[in-house]
Amino acid sequence: MHENDEMVENNGRVVIVTGSSKGIGKDIAKELAINEYSVVMNAKNPSESSKAIDEVARETKEGKEIRISSIVGDISKEQTSKSLIGEAITKFRRIDTLINNVGISGSSKKITDLSVNDWNEVIDTNLKSAFLCTKEALEIRI
Ligand SMILES: NC(=O)c1ccc[n+]([C@@H]2O[C@H](COP(=O)([O-])OP(=O)(O)OC[C@H]3O[C@@H](n4cnc5c(N)ncnc54)[C@H](OP(=O)(O)O)[C@@H]3O)[C@@H](O)[C@H]2O)c1
């Protein structure tokens, strides 16, 4: 998303990872931090988010500036997606990669016991979040 990509070292590259307080998303964030990317993380639970940032920050190379930020909130909500993308621009001035990692399986219920809310939560978390974040990132790119 930047004209001078070949001029930018990893520590100038900015990656956003949705759903990154645990599981695959946290491991992706950690691997990126180890490789000196700037990382913007996201999850709903504030205390788990804070623990995950601390853990990922510990992976930043000794002596290097810690370039990790996060937005806490439900990423299926438009306002959270705007805050997340805005955070990358405000803190790190650019966006190179958006990883729409977030995903849930939802309740293990028979379809006859599944409510419309159960259904919407899964669809909104897994699909709508990717639409919102991708749209916002492309609209705001610099
Ligand atoms: N694990 C597997 O074997 C596997 C296999 C194939 C594909 N996948 C896919 O890989 C992705 C990650 O899976 P995982 O197993 O690593 O998941 P996980 O361990 O359950 O972690 C999910 C992460 O997403 C966050 N999250 C959930 N709903 C959110 C929401 N509405 N807004 C913001 N954050 C939210 C959670 O934080 P909070 O707790 O704060 O909500 C957590 O940080 C998913 O898309 C999944 O479908 C996983």
- Chain segment 105-140, per-residue pLDDT in tens: 998 999 999 999 999 999 999 999 999 999 999 998
Three-state secondary structure of 55-108? HHHCCCCCCCCCCEEEEECCCCCHHHHHHHHHHHHHHHCCCCEEECCCCCCCCC
- The Å distance, Cα 105 to ligand 1 centre, comes to 8
User: How far apart (Å, rounded) are the C-alpha atoms in residues 13 and 114?
Assistant: 42
Q: Does domain 5-140 have CATH number 3.40.50.720?
A: yes
- The Å distance, Cα 8 to ligand 1 centre, comes to 30
- Chain segment 43-61, per-residue pLDDT in tens: 999 999 999 999 999 988 7
In the chain, where are the structural domains located? 5-140
pTM: 0.93
Ligand 1-lining residues (CB < 6 angstroms): 19-25, 42-45, 48, 74-76, 101-104, 125
